[in-house]
Every structure is written in C-alpha cells, then in structure tokens.
Structure 1
Amino acid sequence: MLGYRSLDDLKKQITILADSDFKFFANLFTPFADIEFIEGRSIDKKYLSGFDALLVRSVTKVNKELICGSGLKFVGTATSGVEHIDQEALAKAGISFSSAKGANADSVCDYVIAALVALDSNCQNFTDRFLNRSYGIIGAGEVGHRLITRLMQCGVRDVLVYDPPLREEHDSENRLIFSTLDEVLSCNVVSVHAPLETSGSYPTTELLGAHEINGLQTGTILVNASRGGILDEVALLTRLKSEAGFERNERLSCVLDVWDSEPLARKSLVEAVDIATPHIAGYSAQAKQNAIEILRGKLIETFDIEAKLLSSESSRSTALSEVLPRESLNDPVSLISALYPLKELSEQMKYGSMHSKGPGFDAQRSKLRERNEFQTYVIDQFVKLAEADRQFLKGLGFRD
C-alpha cells in the first residue's frame, strides 16, 4: 500500500487521467481526486506526466512504451477483457492494476438473448424453438457461466461447454458439461465468450479457423460477443458469401459484435452477417456502474484512502408496463425486441459501413442510449402473458 491518507489530509492530491467515457461518473472520484478526461484513443505518453492513476477502456493500449517514466502508481480498465493491457510491464514498473472482471457479464448475456430473438422475430413458436435448441458455449468465465445459468433456468436442456482451462480446475460443485470443441460446434447455437489468448497452453487466436467454420452445420447460429481475433474473418466471410441468398435453415447465420481491427470493421463482413454491431454487448447502465465501483474500490485500496462506501443502484427496478407500449407486452419476442432493438442497431452499423458519410464505429457507440439490463425490469400485473411465457422471461433474467 502507499500509506494511509484521510480525505482531510489528502486535499485531492491524487490525480487521475481517465477516458472521457468516465466523465459521467466524475462525482464518484472528485471527493478524493483531481480527475481529467481525454478521448481513449488519444491517450499518449506525453499526457501521463503528473498523474497517479490512469483509467482506460479497451480502446487504449497500455504497454511498456506508454507507461515508461510516467510516474503512474495505478492503472485500471473498465473492461473484463485485458488483452489491451501489458500486465507484465505494469508489474515490472511497480504499477498496481485492476480490471472490472464480470462487470458487464449480464449485459453481454442480454445481448446474446436479444440477438436470438432478432433472428427469429417472425417465428410463430419462438419459445419452443429457443428451448429445444442445443447450445454450445465457448468459454465459461463470468459471461459464459451466467449465460449457461440463464439458459438452464428458462428450461433449456442441451448445453455443452468448451473451456479447457476451466475444465482442469473443475470441481464437483460445478455442474457444467464439458465437451470437445467439435462437439460444441455441432450445436444449433454456438456462442463465443472466450478471452483472446495469443500464447500459453490454450491460445484462442483464430480458435475458429477455416476448418471449424466450414464444419459448422447449415442452420447453425454463430454469435461472437467476445473478441474479434478468435474467429478467422476471411474464412467466415468466404462461407457466408458462398451461402448468400439461401434460406435460414440452409445456411450459417452469424451475429458479430466484435471485429479484428476495431475501430475498423471489414465492410464486406459487416454486410454479410445477419446482425452487426459496434462492440456494444457490454454496454448498459448497470455494467458501467459496476465497472466504476470496482475501479473506485481498487483505487481507494491502493492509495489507502478513507472514503464512503457506495450504495449500489443495481437493485432498482422498473415495471415493464411503465416503459413499453401495450402492444409490446403480449409475448416475449415483442417485449425483448422493444427493450433491445438489435435489428435497428445492426441496420445503423451496416448503413455506416456502406456510406462514407455514415456514423463511424466509435460515433455509433457513443450515440447509443443508456440501456438498462433485463434484470432491472419487473413483469408486473399489466403484462398479459401466458404463465409459460412469464416463467420463460424470469429464466432469462427478468423479475417477477
């Protein structure tokens, strides 16, 4: 630790440079710190002088070159993934580090569910189709495990998991059914939630290469809301182009929220996938709040600051009938589509990709309204659903 300092003694002597995305939460830091903001992609070594702490998102690469001679004592990222952070360089420089692991897990689960709804929005028996599919989950960390839990809670019976590192740590209390990659890829829905690992015993770079992508059965739905480098985008585009114009059950369906070269996205791939979004799966009001609370706590711990605990707002709830029109309350598809209109968001990205004057990747993300997670909504008495549909929504995370 860096020595105890009370708020009276501190007099805001801690200085923080933060991604401008933190600006809306400045009041949580200002009682004990002077904080300045800068656009995440613009953070450069020349800006770090005089700051004790740096708070970033995934758009900022924190490496040896950035931190060398900076005088930083703490680096925090408001993300679960840490591929943009050179943790070894931080450790060698004696700089404390924290991620916000798990902060956006529920938000990503909402995204996957909303994507499946968007793909089958015209299906007459959506709930039956959803429950009777087989699901292959690649990566059962915070996001993958919570998605598995939701699927099982709402009545899905066939869920397979591919996660070799977790399988090695497997204990008897963990009821996951571990399978081979080939077995998982044979499922009706394949959802990717693994970290991007370039080395080690289980690297995930292009884990789904040409062989795996071409081996996916027709009718399969592939969702990637993890990291772009896990899929071979060239192989995926080749497969999608070869099946262009086919009926849904005769081709591979694909949902991509992450891309190899963010903030750039391969235009032809954006156009070819069923749903394309600009890395927004982890975007929700609750995910941001969770991440900020984690980083605030780590800052207080690192600098031995005496500060008040935050009262979490995650327990606040809203009745669905208060936020949705009556026509959206009759069935799960209409309800989820109204809360999380992924089709519209995808159309915006596709338009922006095709037109040079359309909004860019970052611009689309920044313009997105703050979304509340499913768990903040209550299925109140004015929601006229069949009991089976009500139980289905409860399993997906809604409150009763």
Structure 2
Amino acid sequence: MATYKIMITDGLAEKGKAYLREYGEVIDRTGISPEDLLKEVGEVDALIVRSRTKVNAAVFEAGKRLKVVGRAGIGVDNIDLNAARAAGVTVVNSPLATTVSVAELAMGLMLALVREIPRADASMKQNKWLKKEFEGHELYQKTLGIIGCGRIGSAVAERAQAFGMHVLAFDRFRPKDELCQCSEPVDDLNDLLARSDFLSLHLPLTAETKNLLSHEQFARMKDGVYLINASRGGIVDEEALLAALNSGKVAGAALDVFAVEPPSENNPLVMHPRVICTPHMGAQTHEAQARAGYDIATEVVAALKGEPLRWKCA
C-alpha cells in the first residue's frame, strides 16, 4: 500500500488524524508561518487546511509533490483554485460537516441581538438589576431575509420557520425551485432588502459577493433592520455598516466574521454598543469538528488513491 506524507496546518480532529495515519505519515504543523509553509510543502503529497492558511500560487509552485489540498470545512476562498488547476492539484472540502453548527450560531446571534442577552448578562455580573432596560423584540411573525440559500442558508430558514418567522430567500446562483421549500423565493435582492426585518448572510466570498452590502444596499433596507453575518466578512462593506449603525438605519448587527481577521485593536465595529461579535467560531463545535476532520480525511485519501470524489472544488 502506498504511503503518503500529509501535512496539517490548522489543526484537525483526532478522528480525522487517525484515519490519515492508516495511509501515511501525518505531519502536524498547526500554526505554521507562510514562510515555513513554502519551505516544507515541497515534501508532502497532501495539505489539509482550514481558513487561516492561505494556499496561494506560491504554495502550489513550491509543492512539487503536492497532489491534493483539503479544506476542513466549506469555504475555499483562502485557496487559489486557478493556481491549483494550473498546477494539476486537486482541491476538496467537507461542505456538510459544519452546516448545523453555523446555522445554530446564526440563530443564536439573532436571539442574542434582539434580546440584548450579552449586555444583560454583563450588567448582572456588575451586580446591576436593569430589567426595565431590556425590552427587546420577538422573532415571531418577523420577516427574515436570507441571502445565499445553500446548505447553511436553508438550515437557517428551517429553524427560523420554527420560530414563526416569514422567510424570504435570495440566491442569484440557484434556480428558484432549488431554494429551501420553507421560504419564499425572491428574484430581486433589493426587494428582499426592502421587506426584511432581519437579514442573514450565507455566501462565499468571491469577486461577485465582495462588498455586496454597501451604502446603496443599506439605504434600501427597512429602518431598524437587524443584520447577522456568519459567512464571510468581506461580503459587508464595514464602513457602510458602521455608518448605518450610527444613523439608526441598522438597529443592531451580529458578526462572526470580519474583512480582516482578527480585526484591528479597538475596531469601531467590534466596540460599537449595538454590535455583538464572536471570533469566527461558527464551525467550532465538538460535533462539527469531528465531522469535518473525518470527512476531509476520507476525501483527501480518496484523491490520493485516485478514487471518486464527493466534494471536488478544483
């Protein structure tokens, strides 16, 4: 049986590592610098990353033995797919592993935002009883606009419906009949923006989606809208969001992602009193990590062995 060298750069659940060890040497270089990655990638057959490691053209050029890059999770915007194709390297991901975890976080952020749960908790820890200050809103009978209705967006739609919300779905890359059955498909993004009390983003970051929500789009939204972003930071123009928060157009935002991660110290969005922030932790559950680790391990090994693939990106 062939023995492969497989490098991990951003950590992997033990179940995934155990599977990989059955087929080769696992080199755990979690936290490796870009400079050291270029020096060492030439010795491995496979590279497994998460969102931290940037697999650019220089990495593919240095990876003389590289046959496959695996992304433990769904987003592959940190991998240069064109460079991968040019180098003849297969790219795979594990898109099903984190769906539930990210969808549940989006709902949790929505509830935390509309009921001011973080601020209420902080006040209690300061020995304050500010019950009358925390008059929030219900999700029931509100309209949620979901932008991007793939696996995660559809999972959020199903959960929002269970709260009694009316769900609108917009996805320019999917036919209407493929959108989640518990939502109302919307053809025009501007229509969705104008009708939604809440907006939840579930898109990859591409040239087409970068700054998808900017000043023009915020102007089309309802006054007092709530924004939840647990997808990618660059989809929202952060300067435009800050202006909309300060004007009151946006009543509050919950952000798990940022254009630059980690955001700068004292970032005005992070410090804003009507913004809830989390450190890109949508996929950070024990269950999701175990699934992602095992799924990407089996897919990478299949690619190395030349077997059929479930989730080929390039």
For residue 254 of structure 1, report the CA deviation from its aligned partner.
Answer: 0.6
Pairs aligned (count): 282
Matched, 1:106 2:100: yes
Aligned residue number for residue 262 of structure 2: 263
* Match of residue 283 from structure 1: 284
Give 2:185's aligned residue: 178
2:9 is aligned with 1:19? yes
C-alpha displacement of 1:125: 8.9
- Secondary structure of 2:8's counterpart equals strand
CA contact (8 A) 2:6 2:48 kept: yes
Q: Secondary structure at the match of 1:68?
A: helix
The match for 1:223 is 228
- Give 1:172 deviation, angstroms: 9.5
Secondary structure, aligned partner of 1:22: coil
Match of residue 87 from structure 2? 93
Secondary structure of the residue that 1:110 maps to in structure 2?
A: helix
SS of the aligned residue for 2:157 comes to: helix
Cα distance in 2 for partners of 1:172, 1:106 equals: 17
In the TM superposition, what is the alpha-carbon distance from 1:171 to its structure 2 partner?
Answer: 5.0
| 1:281-360 matched pairs, under 5 angstroms | 281-304=282-305
- Which one has the largest radius of gyration? 1
| Partner residue in 2 for 1:349 | none
**AA partner of residue 184 (structure 2):** I
Structure 1 position 82 matched with structure 2 position 108: no
Distance between the aligned counterparts of 2:92 and 2:216, measured in 1? Answer: 37
How far apart in 2 are the matches of 1:195 and 1:171? Answer: 18
CA distance in 1, matches of 2:136, 2:279: 30
Deviation of 1:139 (Å): 0.2
Q: Are the aligned partners of 1:105 and 1:146 in contact in 2 as well (CA < 8 Å)? A: yes
Once the two structures are superposed, what CA deviation does each residue of 1:347-374 show, in whole Å capped at 9, x if it has no partner? xxxxxxxxxxxxxxxxxxxxxxxxxxxx
Gap change, CA 1:189 and 1:45, over 3 Å in 2: same
State the Cα distance separating 1:131 from its structure 2 match.
2.1
Matched letter for residue 45 of structure 1: L
Q: Quote the residue 1:195 is aligned against.
A: 204
- Cα deviation digits, residues 96-153 of structure 1 (max 9, x gap): 2201113211111111111122121477897xx222111100000111011112222x
Give the structure, 1 or 2, with the largest relative contact order (CA under 8 Å, sep 6 or more).
Answer: 2
Using the size of structure 2 for normalisation, the TM-score is 0.82
- The answer to whether the 8 Å contact 2:202/2:229 transfers is yes
Structure 1 residue aligned with 2:143 = 134
Residue 155 (structure 2) pairs with residue 146 (structure 1): yes
Task: Tell me the amino acid that sits aligned with residue 194 of structure 1.
Answer: L
CA contact (8 A) 1:223 1:255 kept: yes
Distance 1:136 1:37 in 2: 41
Give yes or no for contact 1:197–1:205 (8 Å, CA) kept in 2. Answer: yes
Contact 2:13–2:289 (CA under 8 A) maintained in structure 1? no
Confirm whether residue 34 of structure 1 aligns to residue 43 of structure 2: no
- Rounded Cα–Cα distance in structure 1 between residues aligned with 2:66 and 2:267: 39
**CA–CA separation in structure 2 for the residues paired with 1:182 and 1:172:** 18
Q: CA deviation at 1:175?
A: 5.8
Q: Identity of counterpart residues, as a percentage?
A: 28
Partner of 1:208: 213
Letter in 2 for 1:285: H
Question: Contact 2:110–2:228 at 8 Å: present in 1 too?
Answer: no
In structure 1, what is the equivalent of residue 109 of structure 2? 115
Q: CA RMSD in A?
A: 2.5
1:73 offset after TM fit, Å? 0.9
Deviation at 1:208, TM superposition (A): 0.4
Contact kept, 8 Å, 2:48 with 2:69, in 1: the verdict is: yes
- Distance in 2, Cα, partners of 1:109 & 1:162: 17
Deviations 1:154-209 (A, max 9, x none): 152511011011136x35995642212122223111001111120xxxx1111101
Q: Which runs of 5+ in 1 are unaligned?
A: 244-249, 307-400
**Per the alignment, do residues 173 and 278 of structure 1 end up closer, same or farther by CA in structure 2, a change over 3 Å counting?**
closer
Asked whether the equivalents of residues 217 and 252 of structure 1 are also in contact (C-alpha less than 8 Å), the reply is no
Instruction: Tell me the distance in 1 between the aligned counterparts of 2:198 and 2:222.
Output: 10
Which consecutive residues of structure 2, in runs of 5 or more, have no partner in the other structure? 118-130, 308-314
Equivalent position amino acid for 1:226 in 2: S
1:274 positional shift: 2.1
Q: Secondary structure at the match of 1:88?
A: helix
Alignment check: 8 A CA contact 1:15 1:51 kept:
yes
Q: How do 1:231-250 residues align onto structure 2 when only pairs under 5 Å count? A: 231-243=236-248
TM-score of the aligned structures, taking structure 1 as reference length? 0.65
Distance change in 2, residues 1:107/1:216 (3 Å): same
SS of 2:263's partner is coil
